[in-house]
């Protein structure tokens, strides 16, 4: 057993690890429960399995085939999105959907049904997964596709690694004419401003997302900068497209745990002020390589260490448009008043394109992601409050970024939870799964759903 | 190396080397024991841009098949100008001490089968007056230690064989490159707790290929092992025999 942590560095739990090497090998049966583990870029405990075994998929990193004419790539589940980009981008193909880091595996992208800056146009990653193989602890192997074992397909996409091991998958890429993005930055003064610019941008831009100044309050609550962009057109006169190399971008590294005092209200608010005012209020256009556009944080290797040894809690929620303004204003106000600065807060809209995954997180509305340095009770109580607001607004919280949601919240956020549970492999489990299913739920799911839901019991009590 | 025969292609270091060669557009003939695993490595190499990939599943401890294997590689790639010999077993020292059979397996796989293959290959390369033979040995061959001297002996014998071969083939423009990795983080060493001295197979593969490109003689990868082994070789035997290594 060794202590392992996920990207948020909280919690730290004891577990065994077992590397996987060949996709045709039988599933290991080490005794106790197992959970596949990709590159550990989930923040909380959904990629951890305290007391059990993690099946490390990093060794399943072989490509199987790539058709440069159709853009269909087949690869083992441990292949990273970075590897796919290095293969595909120089040949005119790109990921149909990509999260904000390229250091995630294809298996991890399926299990969390990840979303990107183009959800309003493209939906989630799962929509482009044409087929995959699922290996279960009973020794069975199934090829799953929308028209082949469709139940297993729907359960596994967004299925948090609980339905079995994905050994390989086939993904449909999308064509690009060059690796550059034509990007525009538009400042907005508050939440209403964001909603307006975001809706308007969706019409003409494939990619949108906004950085928000989480310390702004009152009339300025929700002010920030919206980034929108499209892949640059084929002949973009006069710009140096010839230099279309892939940047290898490990520019900076956080060498050690930063002492907690580096991140305080003052430093974050100074940063946010400078960042916001850098724009001097006007939209700005520029051409940028896809790497800094999609993966700005990847350039700072190990940035999760700036929060120090106790780690941090991520909080990402989505709320429907009908309640978005009020709920988000409350969430931003509360986190600002809580005095616990979120270094990076991101707002984005989700469109109405449905995902094939039953437990998929994205749904139509507005999503907000924030991280909070872990300062014990105080932080927990704040995030618990944000969770409550989300719940009352009829929204949902993202399991990939969670270390604390209650069983009641989980059930409220994921109405297909019971149907999904029937597909969970009996030998698979995770710290997250045990947390949100401590025992059979002592209430009816139907009556528990919706804005009228009762307050969740204190999370600290549950643990 | 444009047309390369890779022996033991499913080993971790060989796989990493195959990827680098594939990215350069080399043609590859891959040999390993397990057909399914070999197929996975071959597909990976093809997808990463190898000009041509063929593979064959054989047990390299069947020495009688070596001649025809080399023939097949020549035929498949239309010639050969490089060989990466990467097959080998770590064995279990305690087992080997108890049984000759266990010792013999290590010696056959790591030394005898390599000698048999290199005998065939060296003659062809000598005749064509070109080519690079890269052989993965080990720092363990530099000095016998109680914890793994059977494995060490198989690699030490291999090192001496390669020195002689290098000496013989120098005038024929054939390079013989002995690669001595230190600890490598591979499935072969999965049971050993890792420390800072463990290198990734990718790092070793990069070192291996640059040594092959430069037609070096003997290289330690990563380079720090040259220093470590210099120290270990220098300890007088009277002292060394009392040490727990
Ligand atoms: C900087 C940063 C930015 C991010 N931005 C976004 C974003 O924009 N959108 C978004 O959606 N997410 C985002 N994320 C979260 C990240 O994309 C997801 O958590 C992703 O799933 C992590 O993949 P991983 O390979 O690291 O998997 P892990 O975190 O190791 O595991 C994730 C889940 O996948 C399961 N799993 C892994 N491999 C397999 C397999 N072979 N078979 C079955 N199950 C498997 C695991 O059991 C676990 O449940 C971001 C994360 C970071 C660190």
Q: Which atom of ligand 1 is nearest to the CA of A125?
A: 11
Whole-angstrom Cα distance, residue A383 to residue B162?
Answer: 65
- The pLDDT of A302-319, averaged and rounded, is 87
Q: Chain B contact for A62, CB < 8 A?
A: yes
Query: Do the Cβ atoms of B40 and A66 come within 8 Å?
Result: no
* Nearest Cα residue to A348 out of A452, A197, A158: A197
Ligand 1 contact via A104 beta carbon (within 6 Å)? yes
* ipTM confidence: 0.93
The CA B164 to ligand 1 mean position distance, Å, reads 52
- The pLDDT of A230-247, averaged and rounded, is 59
Residue-wise pLDDT tens digits, A195-225 = 999 999 999 999 999 999 888 888 999 999 9
CA B20-B26-B27 angle, 5° bins: 125
**CB-nearest partner of B190 from A19, A23, A75:** A19
- The model's pTM is 0.92
Beta bridge partners of B83: B5, B133
Give, as one character, the DSSP assignment of residue A395. Answer: -
A66 neighbourhood in chain B, CB within 8 Å = 47
Asked if residue B38 lies in contact with residue B46, where contact means CB atoms within 8 angstroms, the answer is no
Answer whether residue B7 shows pLDDT above 50: yes
Burial label for A147, CB within 10 Å (0-12, 13-18, 19+), is: exposed
Ligand 1 contact via A158 beta carbon (within 6 Å)? no
The CA A41 to ligand 1 mean position distance, Å, reads 5
Answer whether residue A180 shows pLDDT above 60: yes
Q: Compute CA A170 distance to the chain's CA centroid, rounded to the nearest angstrom.
A: 21
E strand intervals along chain B:
3-7, 27-32, 52-57, 82-85, 131-136, 174-181, 218-221
Whole-angstrom Cα distance, residue B162 to residue B176?
Answer: 7
Residue-wise pLDDT tens digits, B51-100 = 999 999 999 999 999 999 999 999 999 999 999 999 999 999 999 999 99
Whole-angstrom Cα distance, residue A132 to residue A156?
Answer: 10
Residue-wise pLDDT tens digits, A332-362 = 999 888 756 677 899 999 999 999 999 999 9
Distant-in-sequence, close-in-space partners of A240: CB < 8 Å, separation ≥ 6: none
- B104-to-A422, B112, B153 alpha-carbon distances in Å: 52, 10, 11
B43 neighbourhood in chain A, CB within 8 Å = 62-65
Q: What is the pLDDT of residue A446?
A: 43
Q: Please report the number of interchain residue pairs, chain A to chain B, with beta-carbon separation below 8 angstroms.
A: 32
Q: Please count the other Cβ atoms lying within 10 Å of the Cβ belonging to residue A281.
A: 8
The CA A189 to ligand 1 mean position distance, Å, reads 33
Using DSSP bridges, classify how beta strands B131-136 and B174-181 pair: parallel, antiparallel or unpaired: parallel
Query: Do the Cβ atoms of B43 and A65 come within 8 Å?
Result: yes
Whole-angstrom Cα distance, residue A249 to residue A256?
Answer: 20
The CA A437 to ligand 1 mean position distance, Å, reads 21
Query: Do the Cβ atoms of A22 and B40 come within 8 Å?
Result: yes
B47 neighbourhood in chain A, CB within 8 Å = 63-66, 75, 87
**DSSP reduced 3-state for A211:** strand
Q: What is the pLDDT of residue A243?
A: 46
Query: Do the Cβ atoms of B43 and A66 come within 8 Å?
Result: no
With residue A432 as reference, give the H or E element that holds it.
Answer: helix A431-436
Give, as one character, the DSSP assignment of residue A91. Answer: G
Query: Do the Cβ atoms of B187 and A19 come within 8 Å?
Result: yes
Q: What is the CA radius of gyration of chain B?
A: 17
Q: What is the pLDDT of residue A442?
A: 45
Q: Rounded to the nearest 10 degrees, what angle do helices B113-128 and B66-77 cross at?
A: 40
Answer whether residue A292 shows pLDDT above 80: yes
A89 neighbourhood in chain B, CB within 8 Å = none
Convert A15-31 to b/e letters by CB count within 10 Å (16 or more is b).
bbeebbebbeeebeeee
B19 neighbourhood in chain A, CB within 8 Å = none
Answer whether residue A246 shows pLDDT above 80: no
**CB-nearest partner of B37 from A19, A22, A75:** A22
Residue-wise pLDDT tens digits, B32-54 = 999 999 999 999 999 999 999 99
Ligand 1 contact via A47 beta carbon (within 6 Å)? yes
Query: Do the Cβ atoms of A63 and B48 come within 8 Å?
Result: yes
The set of catalytic residues of B is: 151
Residue of A9, A41, A160 best suited for mutating to test ligand 1, as the one with most atoms within 8 Å of CB: A41
Residue-wise pLDDT tens digits, B92-124 = 999 999 999 999 999 999 999 999 999 999 999
Q: What is the pLDDT of residue B68?
A: 97
Nearest CA in chain B to A17: B190
Ligand 1 contact via A41 beta carbon (within 6 Å)? yes
* Interface residue ranges in chain B relative to chain A, Cβ cutoff 8 Å: 34, 36-37, 40-41, 43-44, 46-48, 187, 190
Query: Do the Cβ atoms of A24 and B48 come within 8 Å?
Result: no
Q: In this predicted model, which residue has the larger pLDDT, B240 or A270?
A: B240
Q: Chain B contact for A254, CB < 8 A?
A: no
Q: Is B192 left (phi over 0), alpha (psi -120 to 50) or beta?
A: beta
Q: What is the pLDDT of residue A16?
A: 95
The CA A279 to ligand 1 mean position distance, Å, reads 32
Answer whether residue A283 shows pLDDT above 80: no
DSSP string, B9-64: TTSHHHHHHHHHHHHTT-EEEEEES-HHHHHHHHHHHHHTT-SEEEEEE--TT-GG
* Nearest Cα residue to A288 out of A184, A210, A214, A373: A184
Whole-angstrom Cα distance, residue B17 to residue B50?
Answer: 12
């Amino acid at each position: 057993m060794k202590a392992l942590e996920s990207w948020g560095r909280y919690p730290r739990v004891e577990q065994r690890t077992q590397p996987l090497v060949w996709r045709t090998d039988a599933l290991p049966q080490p005794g106790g429960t197992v959970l596949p583990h990709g590159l550990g870029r989930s923040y909380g405990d959904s990629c951890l399995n305290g007391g059990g075994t993690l099946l490390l998929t990093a060794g399943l990193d072989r490509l199987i085939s790539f058709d440069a004419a159709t853009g269909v790539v087949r690869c083992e589940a441990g292949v990273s999105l970075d590897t796919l980009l290095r293969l595909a981008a120089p040949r005119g193909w790109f990921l149909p959907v990509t999260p904000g880091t390229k250091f995630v595996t294809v298996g991890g992208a399926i299990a969390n049904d990840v979303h990107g800056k183009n959800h309003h146009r493209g939906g989630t990653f799962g929509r482009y997964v044409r087929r995959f193989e699922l290996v279960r602890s009973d020794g069975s192997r199934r090829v799953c596709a929308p028209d082949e074992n469709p139940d297993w397909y729907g359960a596994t996409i967004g299925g948090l690694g609980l339905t079995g091991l994905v050994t390989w998958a086939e993904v449909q890429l999308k064509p690009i004419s060059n690796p550059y993005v034509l990007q525009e930055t538009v400042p907005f003064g508050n939440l209403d401003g964001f909603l307006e610019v975001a809706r308007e941008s969706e019409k003409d831009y494939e990619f949108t997302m906004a950085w928000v100044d989480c310390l702004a309050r009152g009339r300025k609550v929700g002010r920030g900068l919206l980034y929108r962009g499209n892949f640059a057109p084929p002949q973009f006169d006069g710009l140096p497209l010839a230099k279309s190399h892939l940047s290898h971008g490990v520019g900076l590294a956080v060498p050690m745990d930063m002492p907690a005092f580096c991140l305080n209200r003052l430093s974050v608010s100074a940063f946010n002020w400078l960042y916001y005012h850098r724009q001097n209020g006007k939209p700005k256009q520029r051409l940028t390589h896809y790497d800094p556009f999609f993966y700005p944080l990847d350039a700072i290797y190990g940035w999760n260490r700036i929060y120090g040894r106790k780690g941090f809690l991520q909080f990402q929620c989505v709320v429907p448009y009908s309640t978005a303004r009020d709920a988000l204003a409350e969430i931003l106000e509360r986190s600002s008043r809580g005095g616990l600065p979120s270094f990076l807060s991101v707002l984005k809209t989700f469109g109405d394109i449905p995902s094939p995954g039953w437990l998929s997180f994205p749904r139509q509305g507005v999503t907000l992601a924030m991280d909070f340095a872990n300062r014990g009770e105080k932080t927990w109580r704040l995030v618990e409050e944000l969770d409550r607001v989300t719940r009352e607004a009829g929204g949902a919280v993202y399991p990939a970024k969670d270390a604390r949601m209650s069983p009641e919240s989980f059930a409220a956020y994921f109405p297909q939870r019971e149907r999904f549970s029937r597909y969970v492999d009996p030998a698979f489990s995770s710290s997250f799964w045990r947390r949100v299913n401590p025992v059979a739920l002592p209430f009816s799911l139907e009556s528990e759903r919706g804005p009228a839901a009762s307050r969740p019991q204190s999370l600290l009590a549950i643990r | 190396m444009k047309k390369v025969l890779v022996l033991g292609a499913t080993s971790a270091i060989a796989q990493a080397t195959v990827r680098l060669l594939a990215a350069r557009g080399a043609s590859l003939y891959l040999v390993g024991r397990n057909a399914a695993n070999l197929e996975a490595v071959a597909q990976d190499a093809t997808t990463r841009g190898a000009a041509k990939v063929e593979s064959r599943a054989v047990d390299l401890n069947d020495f009688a098949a070596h001649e025809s294997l080399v023939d097949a590689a020549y035929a498949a790639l239309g010639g050969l100008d490089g060989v990466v010999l990467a097959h080998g077993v770590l064995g279990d020292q305690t087992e080997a001490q108890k049984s000759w059979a266990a010792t013999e397996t290590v010696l056959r796989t790591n030394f005898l089968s390599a000698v048999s293959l290199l005998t065939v290959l060296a003659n062809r390369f000598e005749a064509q007056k070109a080519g690079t033979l890269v052989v993965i040995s080990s720092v363990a061959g530099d000095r016998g230690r109680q914890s793994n001297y059977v494995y060490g002996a198989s690699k030490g014998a291999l090192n001496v064989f390669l020195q002689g071969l290098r000496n013989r083939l120098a005038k024929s423009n054939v390079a013989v490159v002995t690669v001595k990795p230190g600890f490598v983080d591979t499935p072969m060493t999965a049971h050993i707790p890792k420390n800072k001295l463990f290198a990734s197979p990718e790092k070793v593969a990069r070192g291996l290929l640059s040594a092959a490109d430069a037609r070096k003689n003997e290289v330690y990868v990563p380079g720090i092992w040259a220093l470590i082994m210099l120290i270990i070789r220098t300890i007088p035997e009277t002292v060394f025999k009392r040490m727990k290594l």
